[in-house]
């Protein structure tokens, strides 16, 4: 058994190299949307907290108005674990079967790099699904009826879904300027980038790069020119699109443990088990970080 362990220990650095190289070959996309953090706690808790509203005039010798704060229901997100394994026989090692040694390690590395992309894309794909309440007010990410602690209703999706176009982008730009904060006061946000599926990549780039109104004989300047485009290839909905804003406490991806590659031995079957796992949590604290159109 000692001999077997030595064989597996000898190939572990090679397997690890193939695993790491396959991860490095894949460009990361979700981190261009979410703020990536390394955390020590397995739970993230947040709520929609509303500070005092407008100050009021105080007359001489009169008491000032006592202002209050309001706290929404706390939302908790817990770390999830994702893992996979591959087996390599002693025979494959001793017979130097490169394909049986290299391919599984590369596949495991590819899975470790791709899985977060699919998970975050799934989070966005569910943005208009009421079965997945993810925000502090316990509704879906993009809704026409987000509730603030003071009972006000705020929308972060177009009331009438519209296809990606200059006019619909202008509508969202205007809506963002009238965003209401948790305290009920005006809290304008600005467009940070446009998030689109691959099917809308070309159109989004044309809108972003056109100095004039797209596809017309008008001389009107385009107010959406220069908007940064983030094409998220892992989105499955081909018509829905998003505007990410500069609101605080937006999209996040918290690593509890980054992708880890480890080896174990099974003496009974003379197998080496190579495993990969990661632990993470993801989402959005402040729904004002995005405004969408649920176009069909």
Does residue 61 have a pLDDT over 70? Answer: yes
Phi, psi for 201 (deg, rounded to 5): -60, -50
In the block, residue with structure tokens 């993009």 = 142
Q: Give the model's pLDDT for residue 9.
A: 67
In the block, residue with structure tokens 């017979």 = 95
Q: Give the model's pLDDT for residue 43.
A: 93
Task: Show me where the domains of the chain are located.
Answer: 1-46+79-296
Segment 158-173 mean pLDDT:
96
Segment 192-215 mean pLDDT:
91
More confident residue, 136 or 82: 82
pTM here is 0.88
Helix or strand or coil: residue 60? Answer: coil
- The total of other beta-carbon atoms located within 10 Å of residue 272's CB is 25
Contact in structure between 253 and 112 (CB atoms under 8 Å): no
DSSP 8-state secondary structure symbol assigned to residue 83: E
Contact in structure between 179 and 154 (CB atoms under 8 Å): yes
Q: Give the model's pLDDT for residue 50.
A: 76
Selection from 193, 222, 220 nearest residue 207 by Cα: 222
Contacts by residues 3-10 (CB-CB < 8 Å, ≥ 24 positions apart): 4/90, 4/265, 4/267, 4/270, 5/265, 7/90, 7/93, 7/94, 8/88, 8/90, 8/93, 8/263, 8/265, 8/272, 9/263, 10/93
More confident residue, 250 or 14: 250
Min mean pLDDT across 17-21, 258-262, 275-279 is at 17-21
Does residue 1 have a pLDDT over 50? Answer: no
Segment 92-98 mean pLDDT:
68
What is the Cα–Cα distance from 244 to 190, expressed in whole angstroms? 9
Contact in structure between 43 and 79 (CB atoms under 8 Å): yes
- The total of other beta-carbon atoms located within 10 Å of residue 260's CB is 12
Domain 1-46+79-296 has CATH 3.90.1690: yes
């Amino acid at each position: 058994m000692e001999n077997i362990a030595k064989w597996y220990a000898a190939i572990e650095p090679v397997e690890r190299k193939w695993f790491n190289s396959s991860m490095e070959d894949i460009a990361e996309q979700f981190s261009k949307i979410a703020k990536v953090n390394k955390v020590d706690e397995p739970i993230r808790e947040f709520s929609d907290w509303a500070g005092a509203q407008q100050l009021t005039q105080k007359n001489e010798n009169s008491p000032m108005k006592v202002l209050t704060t309001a706290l929404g229901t706390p939302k908790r997100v817990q770390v999830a674990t994702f893992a996979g394994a591959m087996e390599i026989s002693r025979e494959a090692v001793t017979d130097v079967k490169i394909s049986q040694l290299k391919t599984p390690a590369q596949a495991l590395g590819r899975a470790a790099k791709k899985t977060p992309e699919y998970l975050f894309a799934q989070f966005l794909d569910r943005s208009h699904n009421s079965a997945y309440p993810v925000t502090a007010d316990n509704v879906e990410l993009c809704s026409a009826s987000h509730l603030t602690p003071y009972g006000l209703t705020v929308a972060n999706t177009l009331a009438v879904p519209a296809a990606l176009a200059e006019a619909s982008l202008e509508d969202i730009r205007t809506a963002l300027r009238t965003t209401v904060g948790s305290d009920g006061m005006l809290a304008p946000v600005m467009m940070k980038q446009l998030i689109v599926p691959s099917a809308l990549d070309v159109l989004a780039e044309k809108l972003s790069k056109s100095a004039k109104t797209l596809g017309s004989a008008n001389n009107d300047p385009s107010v959406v020119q220069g908007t940064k485009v983030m094409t998220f290839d892992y989105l499955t909905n081909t018509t829905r699109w998003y505007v990410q804003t500069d609101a605080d406490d937006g999209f996040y991806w918290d690593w509890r443990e980054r992708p880890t590659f480890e080896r174990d031995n099974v003496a009974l079957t003379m197998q080496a088990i190579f495993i990969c796992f990661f632990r993470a949590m993801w989402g959005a604290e402040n729904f004002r970080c995005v405004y969408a159109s649920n176009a069909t």
